[in-house]
């Protein structure tokens, strides 16, 4: 089993490039199903979830090829509307393929996505919206089968601004006869990137990034070339690492506006932040200061995915911070591991109280989810002595060459197989 071995105590200094966004590229890969043509996607990160998506596309009959960090998908040969259970289980966000396949084939069968490491992951909002669009849904024996002759375009109000449900509606309604609107839509930057991608194919979608999205259906879509937006969560992770170790780190390939909820928390921690057009430099002198209260919320609130890495930095702050995790039930699984490293964090339901300690101490730890893995690595960078982090299968879902990036900043970190 591979693990990360980190000798903590080095300040981070230097420059690191942030790769393309996982959460943007996954719905974009699903969207390649729609055009039955060529899709050229630049800055596609080499992540486990990306490889799983490409396996799903190949299973549907698409051709896929890599040229460096560009992936080329030809969806001309789609021959089935079915995703087998083994591929669905690889990745929870494969639910996004449901909308894409319905859009192209007017029918789809996938196995029901189960829960995940963050707790139950219901898809009721996706299915409610599909039903409103006239799609017949049959749920039996662990499978969901959808059928529709003609999409019934409508005004859909989401009870909660779900990212995945918003994306699924955009995919279904892009190829339709009529206008669909989504109110209380998710406003994440990745939704805006999906809109750009679909519009480059010939879709007529507007409003992404606001709470009302309008999708004017078209009858066919064409080939597309697109560069994926930078990964704001990977950027937030590098910034948190610098906050935990001290030093001066420049991250490039970032869109500073996407990072605002995180940079505002880091400023409260006393970190210096200088932003340029597509780069950001964090300078951290001493221990971070605590933050009063972070609440994870839908964008533009504080992103739940940045909560674990930021918590690691706060665990060594000079005072007490409070976090409320409002998005996922089980998103504090890294806390017992941080406490084994000498952190002083108490969790009650959604709330975590983090009493900063001067320094963590190295320990053997095990990650159970993606961002929790990043949090433990950040803790290891601060800790005295050696930290080992197991469970790298989770890290590899969302960070490409993370240890290489950190080593380039001066960290003493290596992956041991
Ligand atoms: C996406 C991101 C994930 C991020 C999350 C919240 C991708 C691939 N993943 O996940 O990294 O943590 O947004 O920013 O983009 N919910 C329901 N019913 C539904 C759908 C969602 O109750 O039908 C609930 C979820 O359980 C969760 C909340 O809504 O508590 C947010 O989920 P959602 O916005 O849908 O997240 P994902 O699209 O799954």
Q: From the first residue on, what is the mean pLDDT of each consecutive set of 10 residues in the chain (417 residues)?
A: 95 98 97 97 96 95 97 95 87 89 95 70 92 95 93 97 97 97 98 98 98 97 98 98 97 97 97 95 94 97 98 98 94 96 97 97 96 98 98 95 98 96
Q: What CATH number belongs to 3-19+230-416?
A: 3.65.10.10
Pair 381, 241: CB distance under 8 Å: yes
pLDDT of 114 reads: 60
Q: What are the boundaries of each domain within the chain?
A: 3-19+230-416, 22-227
pLDDT in tens, 333-388: 999 999 999 999 999 999 999 999 999 999 999 999 999 999 999 999 999 999 99
* Alpha-helical runs (H) found in 323-382: 334-340, 370-382
Task: Report the DSSP pairing between strands 143-147 and 107-111.
Answer: antiparallel
pLDDT of 75 reads: 97
Q: Which CATH number fits domain 22-227: 3.30.420.40, 3.40.190.10, 3.65.10.10, 3.20.20.140?
A: 3.65.10.10
Cα 27 to ligand 1 centre (Å): 13
Of all protein residues, whose CA lies closest to atom 19 belonging to ligand 1?
123
Cα 102 to ligand 1 centre (Å): 20
pLDDT of 116 reads: 64
| Active centre residues (catalytic) | 116
Hey, do 3-19+230-416 and 22-227 end up sharing a CATH topology, with the first three levels equal?
Answer: yes
Nearest to 244 by CA among 353, 87, 141, 356: 356
Q: Is 366 left (phi over 0), alpha (psi -120 to 50) or beta?
A: beta
pLDDT of 159 reads: 97
pLDDT of 389 reads: 98
- In short, whether 160's Cβ falls inside 6 Å of ligand 1 is yes
- In short, whether 163's Cβ falls inside 6 Å of ligand 1 is yes
- In short, whether 47's Cβ falls inside 6 Å of ligand 1 is no
Closest ligand 1 atom to the C-alpha of 93? 8
Taken as a whole, the chain contains a residue count of: 417
- In short, whether 341's Cβ falls inside 6 Å of ligand 1 is no
- In short, whether 122's Cβ falls inside 6 Å of ligand 1 is yes
pTM as predicted: 0.97
Strands (E) in 23-76, as ranges, are 38-42, 63-67, 70-74
Across-strand partners of 384? 361
pLDDT of 124 reads: 93
Of all protein residues, whose CA lies closest to atom 21 belonging to ligand 1?
162
- In short, whether 293's Cβ falls inside 6 Å of ligand 1 is no
Quick check: bond before 185 cis, omega within 30? Answer: no
Ligand 1: residue of 118, 163, 197 to mutate (most ligand atoms within 8 A of CB) is 163
């Amino acid at each position: 089993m591979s693990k990360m071995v980190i000798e903590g105590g080095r300040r981070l200094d230097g420059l690191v490039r942030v790769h393309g966004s996982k959460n943007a590229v996954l719905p974009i890969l699903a969207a390649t199903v729609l055009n039955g043509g060529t899709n050229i996607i630049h800055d596609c990160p080499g992540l486990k979830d990306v490889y799983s998506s490409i396996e799903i596309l190949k299973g549907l009959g698409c051709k896929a090829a890599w040229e460096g960090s560009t992936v080329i998908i030809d969806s001309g040969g789609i021959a089935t509307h079915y995703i087998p259970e083994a591929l669905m289980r690889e990745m929870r966000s494969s639910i996004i393929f449901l909308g894409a396949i319905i859009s192209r084939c007017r029918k789809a069968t996938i196995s029901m996505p189960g829960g995940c490491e963050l707790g139950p992951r219901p898809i009721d909002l996706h299915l409610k919206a599909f039903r409103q669009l006239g799609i017949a849904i049959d749920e039996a024996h662990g499978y969901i089968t959808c059928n529709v002759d003609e999409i019934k375009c409508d005004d859909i109000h989401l009870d909660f601004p779900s990212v995945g449900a918003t994306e699924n509606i955009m995919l279904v309604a892009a190829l339709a006869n009529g206008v669909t609107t989504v109110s209380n839509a998710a406003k994440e930057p990745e939704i805006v990137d999906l809109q750009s991608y679909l519009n480059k194919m010939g879709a007529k979608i507007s409003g992404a990034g606001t709470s009302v999205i309008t999708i004017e259906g078209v009858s066919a879509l064409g080939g597309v070339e697109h560069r994926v937006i930078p990964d704001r969560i990977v950027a937030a992770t590098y910034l948190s690492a610098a906050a935990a170790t001290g030093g001066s780190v420049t991250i490039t390939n970032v869109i500073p506006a996407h990072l605002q909820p995180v940079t505002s928390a880091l400023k409260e921690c006393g970190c210096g932040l200088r932003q340029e057009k597509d780069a950001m430099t964090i300078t951290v002198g001493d221990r971070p200061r605590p933050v009063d209260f972070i609440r994870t919320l839908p964008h533009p609130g504080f992103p739940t995915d940045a909560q674990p890495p930021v918590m690691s930095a706060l665990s060594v702050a000079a005072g007490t911070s409070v976090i409320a995790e409002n998005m996922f039930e089980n998103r504090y699984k890294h806390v017992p591991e941080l406490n084994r490293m000498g952190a002083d964090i108490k969790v009650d339901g959604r709330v975590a109280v983090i009493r900063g300690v001067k320094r963590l101490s190295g320990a053997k730890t095990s990650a159970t989810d993606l961002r929790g893995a990043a949090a433990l690595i950040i803790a290891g960078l601060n800790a005295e002595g050696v930290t080992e982090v197991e469970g790298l299968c989770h890290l590899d879902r969302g960070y490409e060459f993370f240890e290489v990036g950190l080593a380039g900043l001066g960290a003493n970190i290596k992956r041991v197989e």
